[in-house]
Amino acid sequence: GEAMSIQTYNGAAIIAMSGQECVAIASDLRFGVQNQTLACDHKKVYRMHDRLYMGLSGLATDAQTLYKRFVFKHNLYRLREERDMRPQTFASMVSATLYEKRFGPYFVEPVIAGLDPEEGHAPFIAGMDSLGAMETAKDFMCAGTNSESLLGVCETFYRPGLGPEELFEVISQCMLSGVDRDALAGWGAVVYVISKDQCIARTLKGRMD
Amino acid sequence: FSPEGRLFQVEYAMESINNSGAAVGILAKDGVVLATEKRVTSKLLDTGAVGCRKEKMFQLDDHVAVAVAGLTADANILINQCRLAAQRHRMTLSEDIPLEQLVRGICDLKQGYTQFGGQRPFGVSLLYAGWDEEFGFQLFQSDPSGNYGGWKATAIGANHQQSQSMLRQDYQEDVGLSEALDLALKVIAKSMDSTSLAADRLEVATITREGGAVKYKLLTEAELKPRVEAANAAEEKKKEDK
């Protein structure tokens, strides 16, 4: 193989979008090591609790480890506070955790999507770089090996105030066409649509290349 | 050590726990019951305050809970350590911590305070209730010495000797959860000072399995009331019969 770039070693595509009293978060399913694809069922979106999901793009091993660390912290929070974490609190925690490793970082870019229980389940979307620099957005957040592509399709297809079903359609189209130009992401996708009372997960069939 | 080979500080710690509210644990074939007597019952207590709603009963992880007897402040430290141990295990091994490993870890911590550092032991006894895949439902007891044992039924705190002998007489193997609950309430009632049980002076929890997952349930006052009333009625009847 060629020279390894740690950010593109595994490959990923993640999109989060906000709608009317709902959010959606999607990731591709490819797991590969540089050019070689090893699996097409490797989700990059993780459930923290019923109304909070996190996507982790970048180096797969760091994503796995970070997810386990966040489960650790959230479990303790839930035992002590007797409630689930609010999305913004969780995002701050993720940011702090990443910054702790400022001079030897985790090679991941998180995307967080959830509903805020204290603001009438208002949608919450945030993303950050591998050092924890956080940005929240009202519309969508993208991360991955070809995030510019993803941003392009999202910018084109997104509109505010979409209901859960429409949001699912929009985010799915964005994901499937966004990964077409990315050799390291794709091979199917998974989409979670989170509303106040339920979360529906759907797997998309895409081009398997 | 004392000249007779005793550790007085450890014994004094265990003695101090006898002043605290009673806790009873019973192993049933389909779950574990923990019943405790609350001692702090002022009506000025803010029962909505997070983190201190409970006095005696605490969840440690999805599959294990403890009942506490002794110094509450000491107990808080141990409970936190238990929770951390459970999460550490989950993070590295991707599984629920087996109950005995959790108990052993905490007991090793407690034992340290009886041997080095010059610090006093923790004035806490704990009843651990939980489920793991290897051994199913389990009940453990630990004390300030760092000693622990697995039990089918046991009691700690005030009047625990009396409760223990009651359990020895009345406990039956393979009892169902409901009967275990009633037995636990009967034993707790006997050990409490007041003549009849009141649901707001108890914290009662069960560990069961539902749909493949372990469930920790702290009974509400509404759920406790009918059982408490039944226990009181049975006690009344026994007195009348005498």
* Contact residues, chain A, for B87 at CB < 8 Å: 72, 75-76
- pLDDT for the residue B51: 63
CB B138 within 8 A of CB B6: no
How confident is the prediction for chain B on average, in pLDDT? 93
B66-104: pLDDT as tens digits: 999 999 999 999 999 999 999 999 999 999 999 999 999
The answer on pLDDT for B234 being more than 90 is: no
CA distance B93 to chain A (A): 10
Q: Measure the CA–CA gap between B155 and B187, rounded to whole angstroms.
A: 9
Q: B48 — contact with chain A (CB < 8 Å)?
A: no
Three-state DSSP at A63 gives helix
* Contact residues, chain A, for B61 at CB < 8 Å: 75, 79
Q: Which two tokens stand for residue B7?
A: 């550790």
Q: B102 — contact with chain A (CB < 8 Å)?
A: no
- pLDDT for the residue B57: 95
| Residue (of B188, B193, B197) closest to B229 by Cα position | B197
| Residue (of B17, B22, B68) closest to B162 by Cα position | B22
The answer on pLDDT for B169 being more than 60 is: yes
CB pairs below 8 Å between A and B: how many?
29
CA distance B102 to chain A (A): 16
Interchain pair B88, A75: CB under 8 A? no
Task: Count other C-beta atoms under 10 Å from residue B165's C-beta.
Answer: 12
CA-based torsion, B110, B115, B121, B124: positive or negative: positive
Look up the ipTM and state it. 0.90
Q: Measure the CA–CA gap between A135 and B110, rounded to whole angstroms.
A: 45
Interchain pair A82, B51: CB under 8 A? yes
Q: Measure the CA–CA gap between B162 and B149, rounded to whole angstroms.
A: 19
* Contact residues, chain B, for A69 at CB < 8 Å: 91
| Residue (of A43, A15, A10, A36) closest to A125 by Cα position | A15
Interchain pair A75, B94: CB under 8 A? no
Which comes out higher in pLDDT, residue B45 or A24? A24
The answer on pLDDT for B194 being more than 70 is: no
Which comes out higher in pLDDT, residue A142 or B189? A142
Given B51, B88, B91, which is nearest A80 (Cβ)?
B51
- pLDDT for the residue B162: 95
A55-81: pLDDT as tens digits: 999 999 999 999 999 999 999 999 999
Q: B83 — contact with chain A (CB < 8 Å)?
A: yes
CA A116 to chain centre: 17
How confident is the prediction for chain A on average, in pLDDT? 96
Interchain pair A79, B91: CB under 8 A? no
Q: Measure the CA–CA gap between A23 and A53, rounded to whole angstroms.
A: 10
CA distance B183 to chain A (A): 29
Planar angle of CA A188, A194, A198, nearest 5 degrees: 115
HSE on the CB side for A43, CA within 13 Å? 16
Given B51, B53, B87, which is nearest A72 (Cβ)?
B87
* Contact residues, chain A, for B94 at CB < 8 Å: 68
Query: In this predicted structure, which of A59-73, A187-201, B226-240 has the lowest mean pLDDT?
Result: B226-240
Interchain pair B87, A75: CB under 8 A? yes
* Contact residues, chain B, for A72 at CB < 8 Å: 87-88, 90-91
Given A72, A76, A81, which is nearest B50 (Cβ)?
A81
**Interval B164-181 mean pLDDT:** 96
Q: Measure the CA–CA gap between B127 and B155, rounded to whole angstroms.
A: 8
